[in-house]
Structure 1
Amino acid sequence: MEGEYETILSGLEELWSMLWLNLRLLWLPNQLGQLATILSCVALAWLLDRQIGPKFEDWIRSLEGRPKWQLRWLIVLRNRMALAYFATLCWLASGAFSLIYTFPSRRYLLTLAATIATAWLFIRIAAQVVRNRSLRRLTVWGLTIYATIYYLGLVDEAAILLDDISIEFGDFKLSVLAILKAAIVTALLVIAARTASHTAARRIGANEDISPSMRVLTVKFLQITLYSAAFFIGLKAVGFDLTGLAVLSGAIGLGLGFGLQKVVSNLVSGVIILLDKSIKPGDVISLGDTFGWIEELGARYVSVVTRDGKEYLIPNEDLITGQVVNWSHTNQFVRIDLFFGTAYGDDPHLVRKIAIEAAHSVKRVLSSRPAVCHITGFGDSSVDYILRFWISDPVEGLTNVRGNVYLALWDAFKKHGISIPFPQREVTVLKGSELRTETIRPRPDTGS
């Protein structure tokens, strides 16, 4: 341990000596002039940003209606105008110094400041391709630090220092430098994998020759493959031994298998659903009291949107083990049954005919599959019927089409004088019986 501390201290001393040498050079008369010029460029860039910035913002607001990506990049440029002014002023000052001093060392600080500022500007603009805000901020800071160290000529000293800060496990050495390299390489590979998966997902989603369930399955498989490859290639690229990692991951997987049985079950159930094509995006299903259409098939759950706008996240396992009604599994045809009754005095032949005509008068009821009406029994107060008809758009709802057919039946029965009875009770007084009525008056209120 003492040897490691001594190595780290020696690296810090070497790095500090390089910095101190550069700081001592700043006190030379020519370097002080360049330093004063750099500070003047900072102040002038700030003033230019205060004067021009608001006018530039007003111009951006006047461009409403333009594509969002154009406005987005204009806003990005606005937020970095001060840095752009500073880099431009430093380059101009460096050019002016070159007319006075022929030796490049005489304008070293100005050129260095202009180069670093330009690198910072390009890093902040290029980092906008990273959509995740936290990852973009981490990328900006990481590249900014590296660019600064690179142009100061301290890359080798910083690498030696980071490599000296390490932990050893037998023959395996894990240093801060190795961790940084692994993080950078893995992050770049993950970004590349994400871009490739999104591009492939758009193209697969637009391919009508592939079924919806196979599109989802292909995209999920591609994402898992690309992200796994990015992770393991990133570790291998910096020298990690994947053999030990495989043994460790097997032990961890065995332990997690007992604690994450439900999660694994849902993942496997999701793969089964995609393979057997029993449920696909756009299908109309009923599961218990939930009726709606499939919005999205996830790795762990299925998103079902109901008619009232509620979105239910149903675990994949429930769709495998439970009884699910898929109204549009093989086709979109759905038969709906309505029950009603009429009075015994109405002609049942006429009632059946009127009921069928009323059903076909509703727009969503199919005429290609004729409706039928049958007597189901003789009730206590009415003759009972069942009316069956077909629709081909269950995604538009079932309750509303039932209501429309009931309303058509009401209008048709009223037009033809057919009555819909309600339960009635008859009281028969037997011969020889006596029927008396008695009025019971309430007692007066005594106030007690």
Structure 2
Amino acid sequence: MALDLTLPPDHGPPLEHDPELAEIVSDALDVVSNPTDLIVTALALMAALIIGVLATRKLKLMLGHHRPVVRTLVEYLCTPLLMLLTLGLLSLFGGTLDNPLIGLAGTLLILFVIIRVFGMVVELLFRPTMLLKIMLRLVTVVSWLALVFGVFKDRSKLIAQMYSAKLEFGGIALSSEGVLRGLVVGVVIAIVALWGDKAVTNLLRRSRTLQPNFVLALSRIFSVAVWIGATAVIFSISGINLTALAAFSGALGIGLGLGLQRLAASYISGLIVLFEQSVRVGDNIATNNIVGRVTRMTVRYTMIRTRDGVEAIVPNDSLTSNVIVNQSWSDRNLRLVCGILVKGDADLAVARKLFVDAMAAQDRVLQQPPPHMYITGVNDKGIQLDGHFWISDPENGQHNVISDIYDATLTAFRKNGIGLVAQ
């Protein structure tokens, strides 16, 4: 159901239902017909604007960036308030400077201050991003200009035509007034939606009961829901028929879906992976010939840091459609194997003890379960000895600990006269 923000019939054009405002505008237009009064009034307004802008700039330089709240107050209100003060002081001189056009300018500046106060409150409460902050300040000016044009639209056919202009395409009707209303309200809604999105995300991250995967998935789902709702409200306020828009979006969605189906599959797969927790940040996994530690997960992709120090970005749909070897699923312990081929006449009891002692001497090798050595092959070349051991920190490397074991074993074999078979 569309949200109708239009005024009821008894609140029509301001000049028809506000005799006092109509009289002020009429007297002001009489001043415009007098060239001398018009020039003097224009100079007074220009002087007030210059004084306001220069004083505001001076205050901003004095404040710097150490008092952001006061700086925001100055940026929003200093110039219009100084212009009002300047016009009030000039009108005290009487004569040409005390005319209805100056009074109308003061009334419009008061309205501008009211609009700017609203924008300032929104910025201080919700702390938007820099882009939204610039848009909010621009919207306050646009809103005021629209209000000024609204005051004069009964006196100008051009302004009246601008207000009543409409555009239709694809069953969607747009009016200039609706677009303006959507722009003004839409920026505020976008700021509030962004603030709500960040607030809920931070709240989920501070939770001690939710797993990181759940936090990421829930925050993304909430973010999508918030922005869909905000977009629907903005369209409704703009006077866009959501039914017609839905039909247009459906046709567009089919075309985009065919080209972006892989991207959509990655997002859906990402939610599945996050909720199932089949892969978590910190896990050591192997998939698609990529072996490494998961360092980051998003809804679209998973980042894996390989043993070579390379960051591999894997789309999430490949994690749901391919076999994943998760070396950290139940715990972080990982079993490794290193083998040595000794001569057939070697003393196997001594070789076994030296091999096991070399594995147990390494700091990263777990003592429980203890390292073992097995004879895995006997042939005319020699005897194959394989050492099995466990580590609990595979993210710190696997080849390095195997290399240290080989180095210690070879040193011990040479001291005890155990020969190796040349490959």
Gaps of 5+ in 1: 1-10, 12-16, 61-69, 424-448
Per the alignment, residue 217 of structure 1 pairs with: 217
Per the alignment, residue 251 of structure 1 pairs with: 251
Whether 1:24 and 2:32 are equivalent positions in the alignment is yes
Whether 1:131 and 2:139 are equivalent positions in the alignment is no
Per the alignment, residue 384 of structure 1 pairs with: 384
Residue identity matched to 2:32 = R
Per the alignment, residue 340 of structure 1 pairs with: 340
Change (3 A) 1:86 1:183: closer
Per-residue CA deviation, residues 380-416 of structure 1 (Å, 9 max, x unaligned), is 5442111111112222222232233333333443454
Per-residue CA deviation, residues 266-289 of structure 1 (Å, 9 max, x unaligned), is 233223223332112232212234
- SS state of the match for residue 154, structure 1? helix
Task: For 2:241 and 2:53, locate their aligned partners in 1 and report how far apart those are by CA, in whole Å.
Answer: 51
Contact between 2:360 and 2:367, CA under 8 Å: does it hold in 1?
A: yes
Alignment equivalent of 2:86, drawn from 93, 105, 108: 93
- Quote how far apart the aligned CAs of 1:48 are: 6.2
Whether 1:142 and 2:135 are equivalent positions in the alignment is no
- Quote how far apart the aligned CAs of 1:356 are: 1.7
Contact between 1:284 and 1:292, CA under 8 Å: does it hold in 2?
A: yes
- Structure having the higher Rg: 1
Contact between 2:269 and 2:320, CA under 8 Å: does it hold in 1?
A: yes
Task: For 1:311 and 1:248, locate their aligned partners in 2 and report how far apart those are by CA, in whole Å.
Answer: 41
- Quote how far apart the aligned CAs of 1:138 are: 3.5
Change (3 A) 1:32 1:169: closer
Q: Which moved more, 1:293-302 or 1:181-190?
A: 181-190
Report the number of matched residues.
392
Q: Which moved more, 1:209-218 or 1:120-129?
A: 120-129
Per the alignment, residue 314 of structure 1 pairs with: 314
| Structure 1 length-normalised TM | 0.71
Per the alignment, residue 108 of structure 1 pairs with: 103
- SS state of the match for residue 331, structure 2? coil
Per-residue CA deviation, residues 352-405 of structure 1 (Å, 9 max, x unaligned), is 222222212222211121111111123554421111111122222222322333
- Quote how far apart the aligned CAs of 1:346 are: 3.2
Contact between 1:116 and 1:151, CA under 8 Å: does it hold in 2?
A: no
- Quote how far apart the aligned CAs of 1:337 are: 0.9
- Quote how far apart the aligned CAs of 1:335 are: 0.6
- Quote how far apart the aligned CAs of 1:306 are: 3.3
Per-residue CA deviation, residues 58-86 of structure 1 (Å, 9 max, x unaligned), is xx6xxxxxxxxx57x38x949977x9775
| Structure 2 length-normalised TM | 0.75
- Quote how far apart the aligned CAs of 1:308 are: 4.9
Change (3 A) 1:337 1:18: farther
Per-residue CA deviation, residues 129-184 of structure 1 (Å, 9 max, x unaligned), is 33153x44333323212224436763766985444211357997431222333344
1 or 2 for the larger relative contact order (CA 8 Å, sep ≥6)? Answer: 2
- SS state of the match for residue 341, structure 1? strand
Per the alignment, residue 20 of structure 2 pairs with: none
Change (3 A) 1:51 1:173: closer
Contact between 1:295 and 1:304, CA under 8 Å: does it hold in 2?
A: yes
Task: For 1:39 and 1:257, locate their aligned partners in 2 and report how far apart those are by CA, in whole Å.
Answer: 55
Per the alignment, residue 178 of structure 1 pairs with: 178
- SS state of the match for residue 385, structure 1? strand
Task: For 2:313 and 2:28, locate their aligned partners in 1 and report how far apart those are by CA, in whole Å.
Answer: 62
Residue identity matched to 1:131 = T
Contact between 1:165 and 1:176, CA under 8 Å: does it hold in 2?
A: yes
Task: For 1:50 and 1:236, locate their aligned partners in 2 and report how far apart those are by CA, in whole Å.
Answer: 39
Task: For 1:19 and 1:316, locate their aligned partners in 2 and report how far apart those are by CA, in whole Å.
Answer: 69
Q: Which moved more, 1:389-398 or 1:412-421?
A: 412-421
Contact between 1:267 and 1:300, CA under 8 Å: does it hold in 2?
A: yes
Contact between 2:128 and 2:194, CA under 8 Å: does it hold in 1?
A: no
Contact between 2:172 and 2:241, CA under 8 Å: does it hold in 1?
A: no
Identity %: 23
- Quote how far apart the aligned CAs of 1:200 are: 1.2
Contact between 2:359 and 2:371, CA under 8 Å: does it hold in 1?
A: yes
Contact between 1:38 and 1:113, CA under 8 Å: does it hold in 2?
A: no
- SS state of the match for residue 337, structure 1? strand
Change (3 A) 1:258 1:366: same
Contact between 1:90 and 1:113, CA under 8 Å: does it hold in 2?
A: no
Over the aligned positions, Cα root-mean-square deviation in angstroms equals 4.1
Task: For 1:23 and 1:334, locate their aligned partners in 2 and report how far apart those are by CA, in whole Å.
Answer: 89
